[in-house]
Amino acid sequence: MKVIIAKDYEDGARKAADIIEKIVRENPECTLGLATGSSPVGMYKELARRCREEGLDFSKVHSVNLDEYVGLEGTHDQSYRYFMNTNLFDHINIDKANTHVPNGLATDFEAAAAEYEDGIEADGGIDIQVLGIGSDGHIGFNEPATSLVSRTHVQTLMLQTRLDNARLFFGGKLDEVPTRAITMGTGTVLDSRTAILMAFGKGKAPAIAGAVEGAISHMNQASALQMHRDAKFFIDEDAASLLKNVDFYKAVYADSDLRSLEA
């Protein structure tokens, strides 16, 4: 696990975009695992700019998203399909037919989950998985005590998660936040070839401390990334504020360019 402490949100967004750009340029047919939430939005803007101004080509790229609320249509302005269209897909030259978000309206969720896993496999697996982190350490919508080897499944959301998401996205209306979501499992995430987790702000500091320096535990799902073959955390000073080894991470990774990040 590499911990990159960015100067600020924009710096973190650019550094994370560098990693994605490298993968897309090396393999134009790669599969990107994508996330919703406020953390990756700046990176998506930067990728859209690079597509527009620097010819970064997404025409053959496939994508799979982490999760979707149960019960929301893709046209609902709080659905994750809508989020991805408006924050990324509408601004890059990706073929929307190659973009996949779990089906929150499935009638048979077990079948939908198995189909989603099959789709990832058919795409050749996930080359890079983008992640945010919930205040309880969740990745995707894998809440505390979910198996660390879980695959795509339906998850009941913790009240805190619904409160966080109501505050950020549903205009504060808790009643409108669905109680369940269909999410890739933490095991699905662990199978990705590279994983980048983005977190900014003091509110994320306890979850980041648990994920990076705590014991691996299903009570902080992101801590499972300690077992990932290539996980990089892009965080700001505030999100890093409860880490013990900040000086070490800064000395080794903070000003690294892409080459040394791979060392």
Q: Give the active site residue among 117, 123, 127, 143.
A: 143
Q: Is 67 a catalytic residue?
A: yes
User: Which residue in the set 79, 87, 161, 223 belongs to the binding site for ligand GLP (CB under 6 A)?
Assistant: 161
- C-alpha–C-alpha distance, residues 38 and 219, integer Å: 23
62, 138, 218, 228: the catalytic one is: 138
Q: Which is nearer to ligand GLP, 28 or 203 (CB)?
A: 203
Spatial CA neighbour of 6 closest among 165, 199, 178 = 199
Pairing of strands 67-69, 99-100: unpaired
In the complex, the smallest distance separating the C-beta of residue 94 from ligand GLP, rounded to whole angstroms, is 20
Does 87 participate in binding ligand GLP (rule CB under 6 A)? no
Any catalytic annotation for residue 143? yes
Q: If binding is defined by CB under 6 A, does position 234 make contact with ligand GLP?
A: no
Total number of residues that touch ligand GLP (CB under 6 A): 15
Single out the catalytic residue among 46, 67, 117, 123: 67
Per the annotation, the verdict on 191 as an active-site residue is no
User: In sequence order, what are the residues at sequence separation of 6 or more whose Cβ sits closer than 8 angstroms to the Cβ of residue 225?
Assistant: 1, 131, 139, 189, 190, 195, 197, 211, 231, 233
Site for ligand GLP in 19-58 (CB under 6 A): 35-39
SS3 99: strand
By CB under 6 A, what part of segment 96-155 binds ligand GLP? 132-134, 140-141
Return the closest-CA partner of residue 128 out of 223, 63, 60, 44. 63
**Contact of 126 with 90, CB cutoff 8 Å:** no
List the 2-5 sheet strands across, edge first. 2-5, 231-235, 194-199, 128-131, 31-34, 62-65, 99-100
**In the bound complex, which residue of the shown chain has the CB atom lying closest to ligand GLP?**
132
Q: Which residues pair with 131 in a beta bridge?
A: 197
Is 228 a catalytic site residue? no
Q: Which residues bind ligand GLP (CB under 6 A)?
A: 35-39, 66-67, 132-134, 140-141, 161, 165, 168
Active site (catalytic) residues: 67, 136, 138, 143
